[in-house]
Structure 1
Amino acid sequence: MPASLTTSFGKQLPAGIVANRMLGEALAFDWSKTAAGAMDDWPMALRVMARTVLGASAPMSILIGRDGLVLYNDTVSEIFGDTYLGSIGRPITEVLSEAADFYRRTIEDCYCGKSHSYKDQPLKLRRNGNLETAWFNLDFSPIRDEFGMPCGVLLHSFETTERVTALRARRRADERLSIAISASGLVGIWDLDVATLSCTGDQGFALIYGVEPEVAAAGVGKERMTSAIHAEDRRTVLETLYEAIDLKQEFRCQYRVVSPCGKVRWVMASGRLTKGTCGLETHMIGVVLDVTEQMETAAALADSEFRFDTLTDTLPQIIWSGTADGVLDYVSRRWFEFIGIAEDEVEGRPTWVELLHPEDRERVAACWKESLATGKTYDVDYRMLHRSGEYRWLRVMALPQRDSNGRLKRWFGTATDIHESRLAVEERELVARELNHRIKNIFSIVGGMIGLSMRERPDMKEFAEELRGRLLALNDAHDFIRPDDRARTAQRVSHSFQKLLQRLLQPYDDENGQRISIEGPDARIDAGAATPLALVFHELATNSAKYGALSTPVGNIRVRFSRTPESVSIEWAERGGVVRAQAPDHAGFGTRLLTLSVEAQLRGSFRRHWEPDGVRVEIEFPLHMLDRTA
């Protein structure tokens, strides 16, 4: 045993030193066969450092010579594992061949007098028979001999794999949350400093509170945050926040915020306290959701026996994620609240597919399969078994996440309880069907009364026929906008102008559909525009059948549409009919009806041209008057 390493312990080594495995291996190793030479020939500084390293509890190693011959203590041996036993005296470039270039460069720098520190340096190690990546904080310092020349390198190596892994998992979780909530509408993430009440947030937070994104990222002070809250809600919000901080419980509050321009929005904010490095709750992190639309909807449904809190109780939404092939791997706590089981009781419970309403399963499966195959946004309504035992309607949306090559990686989505609003739609539809039935009955009764009047007053037959024709046109328009129950298309809010025209003119066309043509770009119309339009074109068709192109076997009508961004123009051209040399000298009822319908009701204009080969009518409507739903 070289005296140079044992003299400090006396003539006999203490028991603790004998039990030091790496000291024993170092003393037993024949260094004379290496480039370092025998221990007794090592520079004094190298021997002292070797004695210090082998007796230290910190993970320390020595890389001797430019070859970096390895000498390390028991702590390093425990970190690297049994795979690397027997590495003493071997070059570090052989022991850790995967990082040979890194160590070669670093040793060379140390022999040039430089020191290096690396934080979270990844290294490939063989552990449990596998090659895996581990992370270390590495500090390299040159060991100098009595002449000041480097003779080795001292290496401190503290493993940080657990910390790096935890940080990466945190970043992945943050990314998953950020993408998931982006599917649910206007949502912001915030971080409140409990001591100062200064709050930082993302772009969604900045948009909701009406501050600049860079200000939100840097931190919004207490005064500005408080001033953004509606004056009537400010006290409640602060009391709720202070109570959550004092009792160390979850913060949840619904209130109004006022933007700098005076716009008021309803929000739902929720958050939880988090501990800092000191172990105390120093921050509260949470989300804020813009629920203005839900609040307005709730107010509109107040007369339909839906209370304000019925809708807000569903917030925040269920957040979920899944793999690229559609396997769900995460659901938020709201999911377990919805189905009524604890998070730790999922074993043996039904899957989300099994909880679907039997009538919806095939449709939902087809929609989900299409999204998985194409990557298109998943957006579907379906019924899910609630903890109450009833099936409730959910609106489920999901967005795909892709890698840099465009390949689908994951799905992130939300599920919103829309059961109450769905029932309200069904109730309104029931009322609308009843009204539709009664209106059609009125048309029938009035038509019958006109027919009875014609029999009693034959002299009024012509007038009665015209009146009944206009009534039938209105009936056709009503049927077009509101088909019967079997069509199940009452959800539509705008309709094709040309299809309404085809329906009105179909009785005047021949069996081959050759006498009347409609061409050009179509336009959309709503229910309010359909009635005056039906009267206008019924009047044109009736006049043509009496006096114009449709009164002769060879006459025809061409209806041509043209559009601008603000208006739609229709040209009604009759050819081959009875030619009228000039316009009539007075305006009849039909002309007054056209004026009322086109100009007064639809803010449009029309012009008639009496031409040698037939009459031509030009009509123009503003688009916004035809389809107010747009």
Structure 2
Amino acid sequence: MIASLDPTSCELMFDAIPAHVVVLSGEDLEITYANASFRKAAGTDDLLGQKFSDFMSRVLNPEDMGVFAEVYATGKGVDIPEFEVKLNTPMGESIQLFYRLTIQPLGVQGIVCFGYDVTDHVAESKRADENERHLSFAMQIGQSVGIFEWDVSRDAVVVDKQFLHVFGLPAELSHAPLPLVQFIQAIHEDDRDRVAAAITKTVETGCEYEEQFRVSGADNASRYVLAKGECRRNPQGTPGRFTGVVFDISRQYRDELALRESEARLRSVMNSLDKGYCIAEMIRDPEGNPIDYRYIEINPRFEEMTGLKDVAGRRMLELVPNLEEKWAQIYGRVAYEGETVHFEDHSEAMGRWFSCFATPVQPYGRFAVVFKDITEERAIQDALLKSEAEFRTITEAMPHLVFRANIMGVLDFCSPSLYEFTGLSPKDGDISGGFSKAIHPEDYEEAVSLWSHSLTSGEAYDHEFRLRHHSGGYRWVLARTRAVHDKDGNTLQWLGTCTDIHELKLAQEEKQLMLGEMNHRVKNSLAMVHAMVSQTLRQADNIQDAITSIQSRISMMARAHDRLVSSNWLDAHISEVVEAAINPHRSKTHNFVISGPDLRIGSKQSLALTMALHELATNATKYGALHTPEGTVEITWGIQDVDGQDVFSFRWAEVGGPVVEKPTRKGFGSRMIEQAVAVYFNGTAELVFAPEGLKYTLSAAADGVTA
């Protein structure tokens, strides 16, 4: 069809096309024609005769030029939907453009190129991808571009095959003159009158023609068409030829519709968020540095989160003149460098903390932000950190062992004093496990059972148990734990302390031991008084002698008891201690054999030895050698060299009494003689029930006698 049109008609038609048109001739592809649109884009009218490759070298790569030579060589046209062109501006910036490029052969003469600017469509497609990532839209222009020429005076319309394809008409009608009404009838009935009126207006007034309408395509599916054209007048001033092009914009229309729907959905989602949302475009200074930004769109929560009003269309520095520079710098990286960032920061100028998620959006230089005012949250967090620091400071200063557990009873904090006491380390990781293992095996089951009960019931925990000390031994502690509740009474955590009560516990045990001993001694004393009175009466010559003897012995027993209960004795001679202890048990027929060096022993050892001798003498009076006239008790002590060490030994041996039988169980007195006395002397004691007589041996290091 192009070859059949005269040059003037071709020039008029190509100047009316909303595209860059250039004709290249010969093997060198010299420019022999460029329409007004191409000349305007090139910035010069001096194009004819230049090699296309030389002129376009500043915007196209050498490999891109090959497609033009290939069409010329093969005679086969090509259609490139998105042909990329990069231009450098005087400011040094690179501008990226996209064209729908159609290259058709002109036989041996050359080729003709049509370039339709689709940059905006590509940008809209990218913007749709950003707004709804999972709904991808490929913005491309239609598959066909058709050309038409209408001779108004003869009502003869000539079109090419692409035009017929767009309108869904048979291809054989190509280049055949047809009346305009045949094409008007192919237009959707709802658009038909509007399009006809627009054509009439262009013919009558000479204005540019541009309309969008629907037609039924070759596949009987509705297509959206963009038609552009111009009606040139004859020298007589009457309408001459109406030339133009039609574009199948069905895909663009659907993409734009989908984009609008996507944006509507996105806007609906953003409006329903409990966070602020905005889209803004960056503003740069002449050097290209980001200095401010203008709000394009906001959601309803924006004002609530920022306190700013009437924001859309205004610059941030207009709204907050003293805003910190860091905000423009952060958003500049997002808008221009493509960063996506999530951060928290404070604005002194606005008096608020913000949590922000910012991402770049199309077109270039814009960004979207989803944010939340977290000022109150940060205040609570700061107060919590302060409270935690105060809590740790207090617990570190307290003498108690402090710990904290969650609602499951797992320890999540221990004071340094607790770590120091147990020898555990925060580096061990499992604090609860380490603490549990430090409880004495005999106390573990009860301690854990009571703790489980408190966790279940919420009741306070108060329990005494032995806890392993860093020295390796166990010490008694009192553990007290209380639940911490929220305003609704729900348990949040448990706070507790462990108090070292080891010394108090030992004092209580010693007190109980003393009370038991006193009770035991009273009973023994009464028994001994009874035995002493009975024996004295049997042996006395007269009643007066018996009375005198009984009074004397009771008096000696009283003096021995006075020494026994005294808690502030000084060091004493061991012979004095022995004599004081056995004097109440002496009689004419009972014989004590005592021998040993003049040694001094400590007050604690004196008390212990007195208690032991009293028990031994009482037992001998009731059951042993002192129970019979023939019985004798040998008491000896001394210091001996054993393997180069001085060892103190004390011995009690009964002979001449009844045959001794080993008791089936040990009573309080026996345990006291063997265990308690050994502890006071820091040595060992042994009680032997030999048939010929009871024997008691006490051995200790010499330095333990006065310790």
TM-score category, normalised to shorter length: 0.3 to 0.5
Name the TM-score, length of structure 2 as normaliser. Answer: 0.34
Structure with greater Cα Rg? 2
Question: TM-score under structure 1 normalisation?
Answer: 0.37
